[in-house]
Structure 1
Amino acid sequence: MIFTTPHCFFSCSTSLPFSLSKKPSFFLSKKPRLSTWVSSRIRSSSLCTASLITSPDSFEVGRLIGSYGFMNVTSYSGFQSGADLEFSSGDLGQLRVQDVGEGSVKIRLYEGRIAQGPFKGTPVIFKVYPGQRAAGIEADMMAANELNAHAFLQSSSEGISKNLLLLLGGFETKTGEQWLAFRDNGKYSAADFAKATSEKISRARSLQEKPWNPFEQEQAFKRRTYFVIRLFQGAMNGLAYMHNHERLHQSLGPASVILNTIVERDAVYLVPKLRDLAFSVDISFSSLEEGPSTFSEDLWRRASSAGAFTPMERRSFGIADDIYEAGLLFAYLAFVPFCEAGIMDGFSLQVSNYISISF
Structure 2
Amino acid sequence: MALLNIGSSVPTRWPQASPCYSKSVRRRAVVATIEICKPDDFEVGRLLGTFGYMNVTSYIPPPQMGSTEPLGLDQWELERRMGGQEVGQGGVQVRLYTGRFTRGPRRGTRVVLKAYPGRNAGSAEADAMAANELATHAVIQETSDAGGCPNVTRLLGGFQTQTGEQWLVFRDDGQSTAADYAKAAGISTTERRAVGDWEFLDYFDYSRPIKRRYIFIIKLLRGAFSGLAHMHSNGRLHQSLGPSSVVINTLAEKDAYSLVPQLRDMAFSVDISDEAIFRSHRSGLPWKQKLIDGRADDLSVGSATAALSEGLWRRARAAGALTPFEQKAFGISDDIYAAGLLMAYMIFVSFCKAGSIDGPSLQRLFETTFRLDLQAAREYCLADDNWVEAIKFLDLGEGAGWELLQAMLNADYRQRPIAEAVLNHRFMTGALLF
Using the size of structure 2 for normalisation, the TM-score is 0.67
CA distance in 1, matches of 2:126, 2:120: 10
Supply the distance in 2 between the matched residues of 1:78 and 1:299 (Cα, whole angstroms).
Answer: 13
Equivalent pair of 2:58/2:311 in contact (CA under 8 Å):
no
Q: Are 2:253 and 1:264 aligned?
A: yes
Equivalent position of 1:230 in the other structure: 219
How far 1:357 moved relative to its partner? 3.2
Amino acid at match of 1:104: G
State how far apart, in whole Å, the 2-side matches of 1:172 and 1:134 are: 12
> In 2, distance between residues paired with 1:357 and 1:2?
53
**Kindly tell me: are residues 302 and 227 of structure 1, through their superposed partners in 2, closer, same or farther at Cα, counting changes over 3 Å?**
same
Residue type of the alignment partner of 2:161:
T
Taking a change above 3 Å as real, the CA distance of residues 307 and 8 of structure 1, as seen in their structure-2 partners, is closer
Task: Provide Cα deviations, 1:178-219, integer angstroms capped at 9, x if missing partner.
Answer: 1111000111000000111212334569xxxxx986643110
d(CA) in 2 for partners of 1:86, 1:195: 35
Q: Distance in 1 between matches of 2:3 and 2:331?
A: 30
Aligned to 1:219: 208
CA distance in 2, matches of 1:357, 1:88: 9
Describe how 1:241-280 pairs up with structure 2 within 5 A.
241-280=230-269
2:62–2:371 Cα contact (<8 Å) kept: no
Measured in 1, the distance between the counterparts of 2:192 and 2:170 equals 37
Distance in 2 between residues matched to 1:78 and 1:180, nearest whole Å: 36
Partners of 2:63 and 2:371 within 8 A in 1: no
Write the mapping of 1:84-103 to structure 2, written as runs, cut at 5 A: 85=68, 87=70, 94=77, 97-98=80-81, 100-103=87-90
Distance 2:33 2:202 in 1: 57
CA RMSD of aligned residues (A): 3.2
Q: Which residue of 2 aligns with 1:357?
A: 371
Greater helix content: 2
Tell me the equivalent position of 1:83: 66
Counterparts of 1:1-359 in structure 2, within 5 Å, are: 3-4=3-4, 7=7, 23=19, 53-74=36-57, 81=64, 83=66, 85=68, 87=70, 94=77, 97-98=80-81, 100-132=87-119, 134=121, 136-155=123-142, 159-203=147-191, 215-291=204-280, 292=286, 293-355=306-368, 356-357=370-371
Query: How much has 1:5 moved relative to structure 2?
Result: 5.2
Question: Closer, same or farther in 2 for the Cα pair 1:204/1:358, shift >3 Å?
Answer: closer
Q: Residues of 2 paired with 1:285 and 1:169: CA distance?
A: 27
Structure 1 residues 47-56 or 109-118, which shifts more?
47-56
- 2:216·2:253 contact (CA, 8 Å) conserved in 1? yes
Q: How many angstroms apart in 1 are the aligned matches of 2:276 and 2:120? A: 31
Contact 1:78 1:94 in 2 (8 A): no
Q: How many residues align?
A: 322
One-letter identity of the residue aligned with 1:314: Q
Letter of the aligned partner of 1:174 in structure 2?
Q
1:88 shift after superposition? 6.1
Structure 1: gaps spanning 5 or more residues: 10-21, 25-35, 39-46, 206-210
